[in-house]
Structure 1
């Protein structure tokens, strides 16, 4: 399945960042992007929709990490092992360690370049990897 048919949830409170990422995904047909403005809104979406990936801002750090823990524990509709990339303004060793424990595949340090987002989304799924429904 092409990347453009993969459904990814973007949880990002910053409207400019969210809009820019969504625009790039749409223009380059990278993925089908669902947008949420908060962790609570994103979690509500994930309780009834099975996305193939998650692009998560750590602006709401504690809530975002708790959401990741629930995801990895199988508490949401999507697969517990979906690829996750996080966006954060800075990361110390403790945060990086926690993200590794939660099987976060990519870390985007903000401010990032749009090509970093494109590269991240392309890297989340190797071309030969079969996709589960």
Structure 2
């Protein structure tokens, strides 16, 4: 059973163009009661959803390159109705020193290199919130 302050009360915005990855992450998070996942296929669709939705974390694919980084800049600047300092996890296939530096500037908490194991995503999401937040009030 999950309480209103429990794991399923947490909302994660997943921005990932790959439908298989999106669906798998969302269903595993639901089954393991880690969080409710709002799936979007692009930064543009995420921005649309953020007009009414307010997640507690973002899991973003960097496949859109500069558009993804610009989105994170706007997020950190408070351009959306969610918390500007919420946890962010980035996913990418290729990384270099410049990207790592930019992600640090944007306060990205974790970087997952693709292809990754589903266990890595689950573990990463579980680590975003302190254990005391998952306990009933």
Distance 1:17 1:32 in 2: 15
Deviation at 1:129, TM superposition (A): 4.9
- Return 5+ residue gaps in structure 1 as ranges: none
Match of 2:60 in 1: 56
- Cα drift, residue 19 of structure 1: 1.1
Instruction: Determine if the alignment matches structure 1 residue 118 to structure 2 residue 119.
Output: no
- In 2: Cα distance, 1:68 partner to 1:48 partner: 18
Distance 1:129 1:25, change over 3 A: closer
After the TM superposition, list the runs of 4 or more consecutive aligned residues in structure 1 that deviate by more than 3 angstroms. Answer: none
1:66 — aligned with what? 70
Pairs aligned (count): 130
Q: Highest CA radius of gyration, 1 or 2?
A: 2
CA distance in 2, matches of 1:3, 1:83: 15
Give me the TM-score of the superposition, normalised by structure 2: 0.91
Residue aligning to 1:19 = 23
Contact 1:55/1:84 (8 A) holds in 2 = yes
Unaligned 5+ residue runs, structure 2? none
Whether the aligned pair in 1 keeps the contact of 2:6 and 2:133 (CA below 8 Å) is no
Deviates more, 1:39-48 or 1:74-83: 39-48
The separation in 2 between residues aligned to 1:93 and 1:65, in whole angstroms, is 15
Deviating more after overlay: 45-54 vs 101-110? 45-54
Give the structure 2 partner of residue 7 of structure 1: 11
Secondary structure of residue in 1 paired with 2:94: coil
**Structure 1-normalised TM-score?**
0.94
Equivalent residue runs for 1:70-81 within 5 Å:
70-81=74-85
